[in-house]
Amino acid sequence: MIPRCKYWSCVFAWTALIYSTLSVARPVCTFLKNTTPFALLMNSLLIILLMAVSFYLASNRKVRRPSTYLLLIMTVAAYAYGLSVIQVPEEKIHFIEYGVLSCLILRALKADYQSRLAYFMAFTLTAILGWIDEGIQFLLPNRYYQIDDVMLNMVSGLLGLLLAYIGERDRAVVGGNPSDKMAA
């Protein structure tokens, strides 16, 4: 399978997973809140995920410059702040889901577009898919449409793209392709 098809298949599969779980997310979360220390479990898992991504980017020589470390710290702090102020578990999950979605879209777009345009298009497409997500929730009996959630999905997408940029930034400057240096 050519990379373009593989990358777009991942985007479609991830989007389908997000959309297909909308109707069951609230009942499942309610059940888990009533039977487990759900908030503690959710926060712990999200912190572990954030730490794992940070460790991955900071290790393996992906981050080399102090300015990139600073950008990584600021991005992780923004994610941590977002996760600390979001009260609804489903929204915390969306905060992560749309960051992943934006990275998948970026990878698919980079098969055809230059880096800056790919980032812009990835953000735009992530925002559109996040808005569609809220539109679907409007149609569901146990969910509702909120413009704040559209904004949350957009912020999550932006933070995901920042993490992708951090992972590429120093590689492009130190030992990457000459064309990548211009994109960084």
pLDDT in tens, 6-59: 999 999 999 999 999 988 888 888 898 899 998 888 888 888 988 898 888 877
Burial 11-33 (b: 16+ CB within 10 A, else e): beebbeebeeebeebbeebeeee
pLDDT tens digits, 63-119? 778 888 899 889 999 988 988 898 887 788 888 899 999 999 999 999 889 889 999
DSSP letter (8 states) at residue 113? S
Q: Which residues, 6+ apart, have CB-to-CB distance to 84 below 8 Å? A: none
Under 8 Å between Cβ of 126 and 157: yes
Residue 39: the pLDDT is 83
Name the band, by pLDDT with cuts 50, 70 and 90, for residue 1.
low
Average pLDDT score over residue span 165-173: 75
A 10 A CB-CB count for 126 gives 28
pLDDT at 60: 64
Q: Could you tell me which residue, 128 or 166, shows the higher pLDDT?
A: 128
